[in-house]
Amino acid sequence: MREIEITDDGSATLYVKELDEHYHSVKGALTESEHIFRDCAFLYRSKGERVRVLEVGFGTGLNAVVTAMAANAEHPVHYISIEKYPVDCDTLSQLKYGEIVDKTLYDKIIDAEWNREVEITPFFTLEKIEGDYLTDNLPSFIDVIYFDAFAPEKQPEMWTREAFERLYASANIDAVLTTYCSKGVIRRMLADIGFKVERIAGPKNGKREILRATKNK
């Protein structure tokens, strides 16, 4: 069962009672998406060439739309998102994200057919995959990874070494992964796999630190 809650920046998120977990930070759903994923991963990594983004957990589509809004001729994007449990369109409409982001873009992203490539704009191609990132084949040549799974204590199977090794193998050299989780055990595991890991400042009024990991040569 998913319930709608308003976060501190005025944007909505979903709360899963069974897991006692939110889809986004209660300090600010939109703020989290913009800072952790768009700014610290996509815009940090994008250097003028077409970027392939892999998102673990499509969720509400908020990460996708803020990335689409930043995509342009200098930052074109092929965005691939893997989601095991898609949220129904009626629930997504109740979040009213069209009032805080580009409504036309968001509607196109939400309405896009699953399991096929859809051109949302000339600079943003979307591929929503209904599947399990733990067992399904992952796309290759990834430049940016948005790791937006539920917390390790809620979904420990999502945060295993094997899972991150699969992401590492799918990524290009210099690919960037960001996540809100800054726990030492996750940081050390990513470094041992081969990522260069740094703690960076989290969103304003949110988490103090987040992780950014870059695939070493």
- Identify whether the C-beta of residue 163 lies closer than 8 Å to the C-beta of residue 134: yes
Does residue 7 surpass a pLDDT of 90?
yes
For 33-80, write each residue's pLDDT tens digit: 999 999 999 999 987 778 999 999 999 999 999 999 999 988 899 999
Q: How many CA atoms lie within 13 A of 215 on its CB side?
A: 20
DSSP-derived 3-state class of residue 175: strand
Give the pTM: 0.96
What is the domain partition of the chain in residue ranges?
Answer: 26-215
For 97-144, write each residue's pLDDT tens digit: 999 999 999 999 999 999 999 999 999 999 999 999 999 999 999 999
Does residue 204 surpass a pLDDT of 90?
no
Does residue 205 surpass a pLDDT of 80?
no
Fold entry, domain 26-215: Rossmann fold (3.40.50)
**What per-residue string of b and e applies to 124-140 under the rule 16 or more CB within 10 Å gives b?**
bbbbbbeeebeeeebee
Percent of the chain scoring above 90 in pLDDT: 91
